[in-house]
Chains A and B, each alone.
Chain A
């Protein structure tokens, strides 16, 4: 009997402990962590749309953020991640030719395969570091964008109603200075609003609009126009505009307009999605309810798709808009896919997929519609290496389940998004808050270590906790990807405190709320190893809320969800630190463009 007690006890304990050991949580290995970027990526046996035509059942090899090879039975190295593309379609990263980059625009659009946004008016403050960011091939959670920056409008006119500071103009004489200031701010092209002949909003007069077009061309940039009637569109075409960022839906397009559009070689971004919303068709709400879309929508995005424009704007007939698209396309006018997100009834990313469907409904073939959402925009706006699958092009790619040429499934069912050669995490982690208008820069280190007031940057280490680590910070030039400057940190992490750290930190003069932001984003490079971001509340209890990240020798963009800082109260933000540790050692690293987003 005693023997039985012993063996029963031993068996019970072994089984129980064994069960616990086998069920304890282990790290989920995601594609992101298992993928060795230096080894590259191979997509096999996939139907490729290269931006113009189809290459069925091809292999596409990605290396160092670019497309390295396209062919059949390409040799793959052993350490290369291989994706079986059987039954799937590979598209170039999509280009949304009409968005407004605010809030979560860049992450939201990337989740839906839009790897490049052509912004048609945003706060110019965003443009400062943008040129360098979009040229980078570092791993990122953000889509790239090109921008018009401030738009040309009259005081009180279209564009001034959104609360974004805007420099207005009203006479042809102001055009020259206005255009050069935009170029200085980083505008990649000029957008003007020309909506005469209606009484809701004042508009630039034709002479001023024409002067802006002339000045833009004289100073070497493209000029595009927001119009809402065929008459206004005709005026702009006659005055030499390069393209229209909406299509009119007030009348059926005339043969005269078509021939002048052809002669002047303009392009048109119809933005059928937003016209459908103004015309109250509810097509976006229907689109948003598709599970392959809905799953990846933030609450804000879903809400926006379920909204319509406030009713009663005359002159928007959706059927007329589609018919105009068909006739212009058949006449050979370049049509580009753009959504006008985030206007009511539209949202970043998803609405471009919707726009592609609406272009097909208008009479474009799926091939032409995909061309309009990729290569056509890249060629029109001279975006090098984008919108195409060619050797040397950027590895911005979208894998779609199924073949959009067959049936009506279209391209809603996205399987994988690849940006800069890295697979993008599409799953939503946390519910997001309401949208907001501006990014908050905490430090761009362009001219020194002083951030925008009331932010101050200093060195930080664990000596306050009795540790032995030390850090020294300095300003260096240039900064990340050609920006003027960055912060450089010389950190010596030494054992002492149980979680040692040394690095750079910023503090606010008084506590502030960052509840309206979703993430903290910055660029970093330096001694490879493990680093952390620590967030500070005014009441400190225990270890500051922190998240780890890895640093490499080349610049990379780090984006961390604020919600993922456990026990951090975003209503009571007093500062943050970007530090080396807790592994001890000597770390030299550089930090640039720290901002909330």
Chain B
């Protein structure tokens, strides 16, 4: 990376962060909702103590999904609508700088969102794990934001800003609920359970459950292959929709 690109990246990423920090409608739900939901499901509901460790794995995936999907899906669509992307295209900094800055900001928000869930798990819900397990689970869940970033990018490039908000919300809900991030999918009717197999959220949660040493059998290799394939597919889709909106 040449100096100018690095320089551009630092400024762009700083600007992106400032923008997000000035948008409470983005960062409040992104940061508070996962930890709030986790507190409800793992502490407040009767009998829920039993499942706090299990839910940490799934709610961690949920926590990174928010900033990834919304930061990219809604963010990119809005900026496109305001002509900001056209301006970017005209500027000397390559497109990669734009994506990298957004990704950096998203990972930072995802880390904070995830960290809050961990604080509640460890100090509120009584989850106790080996240090390596805590750290590796965190790492896995942070990495889990990548497929959602790509999905968000695709949505942002494909929909106009109003539509993007609605579609991103829908995707977010389906990924969360049917992917088993709130309630284990095995409780759902078989038809809904089979949908989970096609959702990255489900497979990412399975990997997180495995890493978090949660009870039950998790076919981790299978989920890993599926997640990698889906990530590849989403990357291709994101590139395609980027190219398409550029040419439009």
Q: Which residues of A contact B (CB under 8 A)?
A: 1-7, 9-10, 13, 16-17, 20-27, 466-467, 495-500, 541-543, 545-546, 566-567, 581-584
Contacts and interface: CB of A to CB of B under 8 A. Distances in A.
B145 to A, nearest CB: 14
B93 interface: no
Most buried by B among A7, A13, A20, A583: A20
A426 to B, nearest CB: 22
Nearest to B54: A498
Given A26-B128, A566-B49, A495 B217 contact: yes
9 contacts: A2-B11, A5-B17, A16-B115, A25-B128, A25-B129, A496-B186, A497-B186, A542-B45, A542-B46
A13 B111 contact: yes
Given A498-B184, A583-B215, A21 B138 contact: yes
Interface string B78-121: 00000000000000000000000000100010011011001101
Contacts of B130: 26-27
A499 B49 CA distance: 14
Contact of B18 (A2, A17, A581, A583): A2
Nearest to A532: B215
A58 B1 CA distance: 69
B121 to A, nearest CB: 8
A567 B47 contact: yes
* Dominant secondary structure of chain B at its interface with chain A: helix
Contacts of B39: none
A16 B186 contact: no
A4 B127 contact: no
B15 interface: yes
A583 B215 CA distance: 6
Contacts of A581: 215
B122 A498 contact: no
Contacts of A27: 128-130
A6 B134 contact: no
Given A2-B12, A9-B14, 17 more contacts: A1-B14, A2-B13, A2-B15, A2-B18, A6-B10, A9-B108, A20-B118, A21-B131, A21-B134, A498-B215, A542-B46, A542-B47, A542-B48, A545-B50, A567-B50, A583-B215, A584-B216
B51 interface: yes
A311 B49 CA distance: 50
A566 B54 CA distance: 16
A543 B51 contact: yes
B135 interface: yes
B187 interface: yes
A533 to B, nearest CB: 13
B47 A541 contact: yes
Given A17-B111, A498-B54, A582-B215, A4 B46 contact: no
Contacts of B49: 566-567
Contacts of A582: 215-216
Given A9-B108, A24-B118, A25-B122, A3 B50 contact: no
Contacts of B108: 9-10, 13
A1 B115 CA distance: 27
Contacts of B134: 21, 24, 26
Smallest CB-CB A-B distances: 8 pairs = A542-B47, A2-B14, A582-B215, A498-B184, A6-B14, A24-B122, A5-B14, A543-B50
Contacts of B104: 6, 10
Contacts of A10: 104, 108
Nearest to A584: B217
A447 to B, nearest CB: 36
B130 to A, nearest CB: 6
A146 to B, nearest CB: 40
Contacts of A7: 10
Interface string B208-247: 0000000111000000000000000000000000000000
Interface in B9-66: 10-15, 17-18, 45-51, 54
A541 B54 CA distance: 17
Contacts of A466: 186-187
Nearest to A539: B46
B58 to A, nearest CB: 10
A484 B15 CA distance: 78
Contacts of B122: 20, 23-25
Contacts of B187: 466, 498
A17 B127 contact: no
Contacts of B114: 17
B186 A3 contact: no
Contacts of B50: 542-543, 545-546, 566-567
Contacts of B15: 2, 5
